[in-house]
């Protein structure tokens, strides 16, 4: 095994910024993944695992150590009655898997259409949109446990799923390298079509009893209208989607935030388990003084979605972080809410 050296990472990330990887290797089989881990460990080097780069900001200085791009491919399926268990390798494009499920009448992933990235990232981020999360269908995550030095199969409970979170992301980052993910889908199941934006789009199209195909089509339409589908001709394309997660607060916090928001339009909120409430990060950002399309030099907000930070010509990772920090500070000053970034930062980057 011989990794490449000094490979620019900007072209591997949807934001299109960042420096180079000191060492870089793409693994197309599991043996190569094992060898890459051993190669880095023998040299006492950091190991960074790269998927589709759609939820990543790389520092301008680049990263030392080894960047391992997971390129494992393959999809298998097993049907038992009305249940279909689909196992996809970590390097499979996510939306290809969603399209395959929808076309075959397998319910459970339709609202997650159009999300960029690879299968391996879905349990890490607990990807979700329009009322669905992958944690609802994941049955097992097969991963290389770097601490134990062996491949393990983790149950949904062991994955520790939370809102845009998992054991892979926040509690044991770097311990596991996802190799494949298994999902349990329902053959001929009804689509999830209860999210307000989705209902509105279906009504606009005159559809009262939507199929999986109808829901996928509406989700893609909504995402395109917000520049949340990768499109080479879209001026908002250089982003990592939502830059901040929607904050979840206690009832006591909500009362305090509402007091600060007096005089504003009604604040969107959604009930969460344990009496907590999820708020709209986009609403908070807009009421803190940032409009869609707001620019600050070579970076700014998407002209279609306040949650997306967009890079333009000449942008650097440091520009992204500086702008994101300013947005976060303004929201905290206005509402007392500290927004949490959604993408992963590589290198000496921090909003603190």
- What residues are annotated to the active site? 164, 242, 342
Going along 188-266, which residue ranges are E strands?
248-249
CB 123 within 8 Å of CB 168: yes
Cα 248–chain centre separation: 17
CB 94 within 8 Å of CB 181: no
Structure tokens at 118: 């690879």
How many whole angstroms separate alpha carbon 195 and alpha carbon 205?
A: 16
Reported as half-sphere exposure (CB side, CA atoms, 13 A), residue 170 has a value of 13
CB 134 within 8 Å of CB 128: yes
The count of other CB atoms within 10 Å of the CB of residue 4 is 11
State the alpha helices, DSSP H only, in 25-165: 30-42, 94-103, 121-125, 156-159
How many whole angstroms separate alpha carbon 71 and alpha carbon 92?
A: 8
Tell how strand 299-301 and strand 150-154 pair up: unpaired
CB 83 within 8 Å of CB 185: yes
Q: If phi over 0 gives left and psi between -120 and 50 gives alpha, with beta otherwise, what is residue 104?
A: alpha
Please, what is the angle between helix 94-103 and helix 212-225, to 10°? 150
Going along 226-325, which residue ranges are E strands?
248-249, 269-271, 277-279, 295-296, 299-301, 309-311
**Distances in Å between the alpha carbon of 288 and those of 102, 127, 261?**
39, 27, 10
């Amino acid at each position: 095994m011989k990794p490449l050296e000094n490979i620019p990472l900007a072209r591997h990330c949807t934001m299109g910024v960042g420096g180079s990887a000191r060492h870089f290797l793409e693994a197309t089989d599991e043996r190569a993944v094992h060898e890459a881990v051993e190669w880095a460990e023998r040299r006492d080097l950091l190991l960074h695992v790269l998927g589709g780069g759609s939820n990543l900001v790389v520092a301008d200085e680049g990263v030392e150590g080894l960047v391992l791009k997971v390129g494992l491919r393959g999809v298998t399926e097993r049907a038992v009655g009305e249940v279909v268990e689909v196992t996809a390798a970590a390097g499979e494009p996510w939306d290809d898997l969603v399209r395959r499920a929808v076309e075959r009448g397998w319910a459970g992933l339709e609202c997650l259409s159009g999300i960029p990235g690879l299968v391996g990232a879905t349990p890490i981020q607990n990807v979700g949109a329009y009322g669905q999360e992958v944690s609802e269908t994941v049955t097992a995550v097969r991963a290389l446990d770097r601490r134990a030095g062996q491949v393990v199969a983790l149950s949904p409970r062991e994955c520790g799923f939370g809102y845009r979170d998992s054991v892979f992301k926040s509690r044991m980052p770097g311990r596991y390298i996802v190799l494949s993910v298994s999902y349990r889908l329902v053959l001929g199941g009804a689509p999830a079509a209860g999210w307000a934006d989705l209902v509105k789009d279906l009504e606009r199209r005159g559809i009262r009893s939507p199929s999986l195909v109808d829901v996928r089509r509406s989700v893609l339409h909504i995402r395109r209208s917000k520049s949340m589908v990768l499109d080479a001709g879209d001026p908002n394309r250089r982003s990592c989607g939502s830059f901040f997660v929607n904050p979840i607060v206690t009832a006591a916090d909500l009362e305090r935030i509402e007091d600060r928001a007096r005089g504003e339009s009604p604040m969107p909120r959604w009930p969460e388990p344990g009496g907590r409430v999820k708020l709209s990060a986009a609403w908070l950002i807009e009421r803190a003084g940032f409009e869609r399309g707001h620019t600050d030099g070579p970076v700014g907000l998407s002209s279609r979605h306040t949650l997306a930070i967009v890079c333009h010509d000449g942008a650097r990772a440091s520009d992204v972080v500086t702008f994101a920090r300013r947005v976060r500070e303004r929201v905290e000053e206005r509402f007392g809410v500290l927004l949490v970034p959604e993408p992963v930062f590589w290198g000496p980057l921090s909003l603190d």
